[in-house]
Structure 1
Amino acid sequence: MSGLEELRPEAVWSAGAELGEGPVWVERDRALWFVDIKRQKIHRFDPASGDKTSWDAPEQIGFLLPAQTGGFVAGMQSGLHRFDEATGAFSKIVDVEAHLPGNRINDGTVDPSGRLWFGTMDNHEESPTGCFYRFEGGQHVQAELPKITITNGPVHSPDGRTLYHVDTLAQTIQACDVAEDGTLGPSRPFVRIPEGEGFPDGPTVDSEGCVWVGLYFGWEARRYSPAGELIGRVRFPTSNITKVAFGGPDLKTLFATSAQQGLKPEALAEQPEAGSLFAVRLDIAGLPGSLIAL
């Protein structure tokens, strides 16, 4: 095991997020962006100045990812929207699952080709109605993956040829091959989190092709080799680590979002930093982020 266990992440923003999610480093403004799904908030953190800025979203918002043409694409309760940070305005791009009002968009990522990949889930976290989609050419197409209750990820290997996707309640991460046209091969087991060690939430991939995942109710983020071997873990002072992302000028700062959701009053009292944005310096670099081709 690596020396990651000795690191102590710092809470750089005590955001008090009910469900902090979707951290993403946006190189064009050297800032870390993330959302609070349940409180319908967008947050921007500038690590150089310490500045913190927030916007209200009109619906639950699962992710916010930068577009090639400027601005962002937001995965909202009802579908994909453009977000203009200068005005705070949202404009719908496309409805997603209008026939399933109990679903919402959850996590998302952009592959090296500029395709947006995202998942939906049952907002009550009970029924297997969630699907994965890829968005390109103005259309969203359902990916060749089974329906599950809580989707997380997906995320891609550095070359974009492997897609990792998370079934949170089944405590599994699966992998599948990605063809040039974006179609997927059969899923294969990659990692299973043992019972009682937490639920795999949002993943990311580093420059060595290793997969990182935050553990909800697990107090940590884990690093797995491309072969699925556990090779490192970073412990946090709060139990609900939702997603990790690399950022900073050298992409060697690991940022992590967290959540207060699901914690009883006594647990919240014992975890005053629950819902914070955390940061910790690593010797490992992440990958430069891709921009959505609209």
Structure 2
Amino acid sequence: MTVNTVWQVGATLGEGPVWDAGNACLWFVDIKGRKVHRLDPATGDRRSWDAPAQIGWVLPAEGGCLLAGMQTGLSRFDPESGTFSHLVEVEPNRPGNRLNDATVGPDGTVWFGSMDDAETDATGHVYRWDGATVIQTAIPAVMITNGPALTPDGQKLYHVDTAGGIIHAVPVAPDGSTGTPAEFARIAPADGNPDGPTVDSQGNVWVGLWGGGRARCYAPDGTLRSEVALPASNVTKIALGGPDLKTAYATTARIGLDAQTLEREPLAGSVFSFAVDVAGQEVPLARL
């Protein structure tokens, strides 16, 4: 497997890659660096914007803007002006939490999670946003949520308990309510911690391994389908993009690595790419 370095951006905590099919570009963020980044692979154009708070993700949305998951709640981000407009608070009673990861369902509903920024307490919840209201799901709280990610039909949600090392599969009813989580895959501590998940067009689940220097792909039955080694220990999430949705883009992070490790991993915090054999899903526009 050939792995390419597409942007040596040096992100402190690179996260949230998403392929914007309408504009043929990759969006991602640096949570701790408070940055939004945009990459056009065809032209090599790179742009970055400052965010006013820790930012977990951005998602292409209706009207040409992006929906941003901030520590302060949900905001509308306008890349033309570089401005953020606050929409709604999510957890006003949990000031130590921040938003961490998200996806868009087939109908434009946004599913996202929160986490304890200090990584000590199980205060991370999963929510959905229908364009007007934030609704907390029945998924039990964990310290660090990652995902969710949805199957192509939107009837199953994958939720990652990063600290617990478990990827859960959760049924989703037509009304958006969630059922009982079942263990989908468990990651051995020696292999790292599961981070952000992504589901391809055939229902396979890609996940980055924090501390494991790998991206893994699991078949819909939970068996390991493939694994790709990357030149950075902290692999955060995979996005499937490109003209045919068969290019995987991996974000990584420098945070938590000591000086010796950073010397061995000069590309830590970069975005990498590699080819895959199954296309991803086109991400619908988020509701605003």
Q: TM-score range by the shorter chain?
A: over 0.9
Choose the corresponding residue for 1:162, options 138, 156, 159: 156
Deviations 1:24-63 (A, max 9, x none): 0001211001000000000000000111100000000000
**Paired residues, number:** 288
Corresponding position of 1:251: 245
User: Is the CA contact (8 Å cut-off) linking 1:34 and 1:43 kept in structure 2?
Assistant: yes
Q: Residue 104 of structure 2 aligns to which amino acid in structure 1?
A: V
1:283, CA displacement in angstroms?
Answer: 2.2
Q: Give the secondary-structure state (helix, strand or coil) at the position aligned to 1:29.
A: coil
Choose the corresponding residue for 1:93, options 84, 87, 93: 87
Corresponding position of 2:17: 23
With normalisation by structure 2, the TM-score equals 0.99
Q: Residue 262 of structure 2 aligns to which amino acid in structure 1?
A: L
**C-alpha separation in 1, matches of 2:176 and 2:263:** 46
1:41-52 matches, within 5 Å, as 41-52=35-46
1:68, CA displacement in angstroms?
Answer: 2.1
Corresponding position of 2:126: 132
Task: Flag structure 1 segments of 5+ consecutive residues without an equivalent.
Answer: 1-6
Residue 35 of structure 2 corresponds to residue 14 of structure 1: no
1:282, CA displacement in angstroms?
Answer: 2.1
Q: Residue 276 of structure 1 aligns to which amino acid in structure 2?
A: S
**C-alpha separation in 2, matches of 1:9 and 1:126:** 34
Corresponding position of 1:4: none
**C-alpha separation in 2, matches of 1:79 and 1:105:** 7
1:208, CA displacement in angstroms?
Answer: 1.2
Corresponding position of 1:265: 259
Query: What is the root-mean-square deviation of aligned Cα atoms in Å?
Result: 0.7
Q: Percent identity among equivalent residues? A: 53
Corresponding position of 1:3: none
Deviations 1:64-121 (A, max 9, x none): 0011222000000110000000000110110111111110000000000110000000
**C-alpha separation in 2, matches of 1:8 and 1:252:** 14
User: Is the CA contact (8 Å cut-off) linking 1:218 and 1:240 kept in structure 2?
Assistant: yes
1:272, CA displacement in angstroms?
Answer: 0.4
Residue 143 of structure 2 corresponds to residue 176 of structure 1: no
**C-alpha separation in 1, matches of 2:188 and 2:278:** 26
Deviations 1:252-281 (A, max 9, x none): 100000000110000000000000011112
Task: Flag structure 2 segments of 5+ consecutive residues without an equivalent.
Answer: none
Residue 140 of structure 2 corresponds to residue 149 of structure 1: no
1:137, CA displacement in angstroms?
Answer: 4.2
1:207, CA displacement in angstroms?
Answer: 1.2
Choose the corresponding residue for 1:274, options 249, 253, 268: 268
Residue 191 of structure 2 corresponds to residue 197 of structure 1: yes
Runs of 4+ in 1 over 3 A off after TM superposition: none
Corresponding position of 1:208: 202
Q: Give the secondary-structure state (helix, strand or coil) at the position aligned to 2:263.
A: helix
User: Is the CA contact (8 Å cut-off) linking 1:8 and 1:235 kept in structure 2?
Assistant: no
User: Is the CA contact (8 Å cut-off) linking 1:8 and 1:236 kept in structure 2?
Assistant: no
Q: Residue 66 of structure 2 aligns to which amino acid in structure 1?
A: F
**C-alpha separation in 1, matches of 2:36 and 2:170:** 31
